[in-house]
A and B are shown apart, each in its own frame.
Chain A
Amino acid sequence: MDMQLKVKNVTVAYDDYVAIKDVSFALKPGEIGCLLGPSGCGKTSLLRAIAGFEPVQCGEISLHGKTVSVPGNYLPTEQRRVGMVFQDFALFPHLSVEKNIAFGLKHLNAKRCDERVEELLKLVGLSHLKTAYPHELSGGQQQRIALIRAMAPRPEILLMDEPFSSMDAELREQLAREVRELLKRDGITAILVTHDQLEAFAMADAIAVLGNGELHQYDSGYNIYHNPANRFVADFIGQGVMLQASVLDEKRVETEMGVFKGELPEDCHSGQQVEVLLRPDDVIHDDNSDIKLEVIAKVFRGAEYLYTLALPSGQSILCLVQSHHNHRIGERIGIKLGVDDLAVFPVCENTETAD
């Protein structure tokens, strides 16, 4: 299948600072990708390189089969047919909502242009604000206008730079859902830049986890959470603890919580000391279980409690439990393990940690 966006071995650098090193990934038409990483990881630089605001030092970027960026040569942004939604929305304050949306529709005649504007406004349910000016809109409304303004000229790809970062948490979730629906309905290929993993999970079909300018993993949200490719991804995404373990054979490791089965990295040999990632949702509360562990800390999160439980060896694990199971600190509660995907990492002293 033809790829809508292909990023091949791309390096982006400013003077002597390398922002992105040798990154490759691709998006199918209609797919929504996400560049996820802590601040300073280079995700925005990569997005700007795709938009054509930054040149690439190595590698190649192509859109819809057409090469747009190679070292020393790149198609200017205005000829790329990209749509862009900015963190600050960048609505033109001197133009009405209608004129803002029509800004990129110069090639259409007045009637077709008006139709497109009406259509998009209806899509986001803001038809009544057609003649309003940006300063009269709420944050959420500005966000929607910025989005449909970028969508109006039917771009090859829609690029969104932290589009929800200025919203409060509740609105952010609702908007992310709305935007995903909208993009899917129109079959628009899009890339979202964010540092918020929940936003990435909610929006994206495929997530590229970036750290220190490198691509650590490019996969679905599920796999990034349950099968992190390396320690950086394991640390950055979700919560969890690393449990010490030793390799028994190609398929099994042993921990103080028992033996886990699953795929191990190829270079493991039996007897080797490794670490196993244990997510809070891998640890299931069960009053009937024989394994009883002491609660040493708890955090109330509304629907559930996050308990920290002590193992006999002194290591601790996290356990997510529905909040009507309210246990005191010091109480021993029964748990069982439900590790479906085994994530094993070599022991290392200096772990690369995410923000």
Chain B
Amino acid sequence: MKFSYWHTSIIATTLLLAIPLAVVVANVFVPAGEVWRHLAATVLQDYIVNSLLLMFGVAIGSLILGVGSAWLVSVTEFPGRKYFEWALLLPMAIPAYIIAYTYTGMLDFAGPVQSSLRELTGWGYGDYWFPEIRSLGGAAVMLSLVLYPYIYLLARAAFLSQSLCVLEVSRSLGNGPWCTFFHVGLPLARPAIVAGLSLVLMETLADYGTVQYFGVSTFTTGIFRTWYGLDNAPAAAQLAAMLLLFVVVLVTLERISRRQSRYYNTGKRTQPLQRLKLVGRGRVAASLFCFAILLSGFLLPAAQLASWAINTYQTMIDARFVTLFFNTLELAAISTALALVIALLLNYGRRLQPTRGIRFAVRAAGLGYAIPGTVIAIGVVIPFGWFDNTLDSWMRAQFDVSTGLLLSGTIAALVFAYMVRFLAVSLHAVESGLERITPSMDEAARAMGEKPLGILGRIHIPMLKGSLITALLLVFVDVLKELPATLILRPFNFNTLAVRAYELASDERLADSSTAALAIVVAGLVPVILLSRSLSKTRSFAK
């Protein structure tokens, strides 16, 4: 029967994807003994305090950058506004760990900034104070610089969708433009801003590369240390479960805010917004503010990476780099294709059999985006390792054959982890494409004598093409950038661009890591371009 076919395959897929989460949660009940007591007595408090401080810092930073710039570009008029509208998304292309390497290279003692300072002033070592970039504060700044676009995007959309009437009512009741912003505009955008902020904080919690490089002890670095240093799986899983608790709070916050934002809808905008024309100093200040964000979030680090890469690429691009490049490509291609197939299966299942069970399963399958890569990796490596060892010893006992590490030692584990984390991305892209094909289009085609396969070929595939390409590109880039899960799960001696950049940076070979880092940034520009294109569409709509 058709019904049970869809039902079984979709529920099975979702259950499979839920394994890592289930393993992490189940490990809460496994006694980790001495190790856990040791952790609790020594470092656990650091992990919690540092994670909270980091989240607090990133929240402040990204709110100032995100809300400020969103308000400026959507409500006011100043020189360069049109360009900033999309350019402010560019920092999204740089993973946090890469911007961290770049700024370290620029700002540390031997870097160009301090060197020229010494040259100018004649100071020597220890004669002057310079802010230490490799600190908790530095990590908060780095993360804010690349994560604020989440808030920018959602806040901008909220500001643009506010009905002019609501704002005009405020003006007609005697409030000036600034007062209107603080009393009407900002409160109305609040749910959107909170939703953006919770995404930023989820990314902050998931970050490993930055905090590890800056030596800040947070949950993610703690999980790595417990896993590799103490070699204690249950303890690592328990740390991961604690981290999950933070994530659950954030996901709930995001959900509630999104639901609220529906009630904050002020109806369709019928007239274009009369932008506030900034004059004099305000004009300059607005342009400078946006330019400063763009400069420090994208232009400077990108330029620094490029200049390093120009100096080092000849030694860096060797046979090893080519292997690395193709490894990454292969991994990303497999994951991307698989994510697309699963996304299609789940979406079509839901379209054809929209039962409650299937709808729930599809939503559950997309929850992985919120779970830090480190947590997923721990949740994958524990059951896969157990499976491999059990199978291997059984096969050896029965047939005297060793199967080795069938799952955990190959890219299978890696691809699976990517599915768990990034399926949401392709799921969402396919969903938004499929929504445009209304049920009556299917029926119109059938009434004109077309069979189901013909409908797929003549209507669905041509209409879905764009969304499918988007889904492919987005997952591809996400896989390319992913660091912590790849570090834990990669097969022995299997490197990707992200891992290579991380390793070289950890060896203090910042300039050498720039070729791989630059390749990741260039790839990261793809989703930014896609986003800015859909942004310009909403812009013409808002007109």
Write the residues of chain A forming the contact surface with B, with a CB cutoff of 8 angstroms: 51, 53, 76-84, 86-88, 90, 92-94, 103-104, 106, 149-150, 152-153, 155, 159
Contacts and interface: CB of A to CB of B under 8 A. Distances in A.
B440 interface: yes
Nearest to A106: B449
Contacts of B131: none
A92 B440 contact: no
B4 interface: no
Given A78-B449, A78-B451, A104-B449, A94 B463 contact: yes
Q: Is the interface of A mostly helix, strand, loop or mixed?
A: loop
A86 B449 contact: no
A79 B444 CA distance: 13
B443 to A, nearest CB: 6
A150 B444 CA distance: 8
A94 B462 contact: yes
B440 A87 contact: yes
A84 B451 contact: no
Contacts of B438: 88, 90
Most buried by A among B441, B446, B448, B449: B448
Contacts of B459: 92, 94
A94 B463 CA distance: 6
Nearest to A51: B447
Contacts of A76: 446
A90 B446 contact: no
B447 A84 contact: yes
A106 B449 CA distance: 9
A84 B463 contact: no
A158 to B, nearest CB: 10
B450 A84 contact: no
A148 to B, nearest CB: 12
B450 A78 contact: yes
Interface string B439-479: 01101111111110000001100110000000000000000
A3 B447 CA distance: 21
12 contacts: A77-B447, A78-B447, A80-B447, A81-B449, A83-B447, A84-B447, A86-B440, A90-B440, A92-B441, A92-B444, A106-B449, A150-B444
A194 B287 CA distance: 57
A29 B446 CA distance: 23
Contacts of B458: 103
Contacts of B443: 51, 53, 77, 84, 86, 90
Interface of B: 436, 438, 440-441, 443-451, 458-459, 462-463
A352 B449 CA distance: 41
B467 to A, nearest CB: 12
B444 A86 contact: yes
Contact of A93 (B444, B445, B446, B463): B463
Contacts of B450: 78, 103-104, 106
Most buried by B among A77, A83, A87: A77
Contacts of B462: 94
A248 B195 CA distance: 76
Contacts of A155: 447
Contacts of A94: 459, 462-463
A256 B378 CA distance: 89
A145 B405 CA distance: 62
A155 B458 CA distance: 21
Given A88-B438, A92-B459, A93-B436, A103 B447 contact: no
Contact of B441 (A80, A81, A87, A90): A90
B452 to A, nearest CB: 9
Contact of B447 (A88, A92, A106, A150): A150
Contacts of A103: 445, 448, 450, 458
Contacts of B451: 78
A26 B449 CA distance: 24
A19 B450 CA distance: 27
A84 B447 CA distance: 6
Contacts of A83: 447-448
B448 A149 contact: yes
Most buried by B among A78, A81, A149: A78
Contacts of A153: 448-449
Most buried by A among B440, B441, B447, B459: B447
Nearest to A155: B447
A149 B463 CA distance: 19
The list of the 7 closest CB pairs from A to B, nearest first, reads: A104-B448, A84-B447, A90-B440, A86-B440, A90-B444, A77-B446, A90-B441
Contacts of A51: 443, 447
Nearest to B462: A94
A77 B445 CA distance: 10
Nearest to A85: B444
A159 to B, nearest CB: 8
B441 A79 contact: no
B345 to A, nearest CB: 23
Nearest to A159: B447
A53 B449 CA distance: 13
Nearest to A77: B446
A291 to B, nearest CB: 52
Contacts of A78: 446-451
Contacts of A104: 447-450
Nearest to A107: B449
Nearest to B455: A78
A35 B436 CA distance: 29
B449 A84 contact: no
A330 B462 CA distance: 68
A159 B449 CA distance: 14
A154 to B, nearest CB: 11
Contacts of A87: 440
Most buried by B among A53, A82, A88, A90: A90
A333 B522 CA distance: 86
Contacts of A80: 447
Given A153-B448, A159-B447, 4 more contacts: A53-B443, A82-B447, A83-B447, A90-B438
A192 B471 CA distance: 41
A142 to B, nearest CB: 13
Contacts of A84: 443-444, 447
B321 to A, nearest CB: 42
A77 B447 CA distance: 6
Nearest to B466: A94
Nearest to A84: B447
A206 to B, nearest CB: 23
A80 B443 CA distance: 13
Contacts of B447: 51, 77-78, 80, 82-84, 104, 150, 155, 159
Contacts of B441: 90, 92
Nearest to A104: B448
Contacts of A152: 448
A179 to B, nearest CB: 17
A51 B449 CA distance: 12
Contacts of A53: 443, 446
Contact of A79 (B436, B445, B449): B449
A333 B427 CA distance: 71
Contacts of A81: 449
A246 to B, nearest CB: 53
A76 B438 CA distance: 20
A52 to B, nearest CB: 8
A286 B443 CA distance: 55
Nearest to B461: A94
A165 to B, nearest CB: 13
